[in-house]
Amino acid sequence: LDQARTALSAMVVIVGSECLLETGSVTMKSITKLLIAHDECLYRDCLASALAAANRFDVKSTDVSKEALTELRHHGPKVMLIGLNGSRTRTLKLVNLVTREFPDVKVVIVGVSEDTGEILECVEAGAAAYVLKGQRIESLLAAIDAVVRGESPCSPTVAQKVFSRLS
């Protein structure tokens, strides 16, 4: 039994924040806890279902309110997706509060606006990434993976707008 444990522990490989367990030809990734905060229930539920189907996330969802902070404390996610619609001020306050009070939680904004000012406000509030709602689910998955690794991904469209404003 001890030899089996030693052999198994030798097969565990740490890659960034993910633990890969190699068992023969199968590699299993650890599950990332994820919290979705969005005011539109149908959108929130559809996004939660799509992300849960990837079998890589433990997904919880809530609206953008005080309930989001309660769920954040209870669920302890590594990544929080926040939908930017409706009250931009309320959303930015939530982003700022989350990044101050929970510095290990990476915030990804899911928004519709390509307005550079709005995107920069999100970044200044503490967002690690901004993904446009019009992008494919693969883009969102890539952004989540990137923020888990400590990166701040940005779509080419958003990057072009930000750089043209700053130059």
- pLDDT tens digit sequence for 42-70: 999 999 999 999 999 999 999 888 788 89
Question: pTM of the entire structure?
Answer: 0.77
Is the pLDDT score of 10 beyond 70? no
> What local confidence, expressed as pLDDT, does residue 3 receive?
43
Q: How does 140-162 read in b/e, with b if 16+ C-beta sit within 10 Å?
A: bbbbbbbbbeeeebbbeebeebb
104's tokens:
């290990």
Instruction: Point out the least confidently predicted range of 16-20, 75-79, 97-101.
Output: 16-20
- pLDDT tens for 113-138 read 877 888 889 989 999 999 988 889 99
> What local confidence, expressed as pLDDT, does residue 97 receive?
93
Q: What is the dihedral of CA 86, 92, 94, 100, to 10 degrees?
A: 170
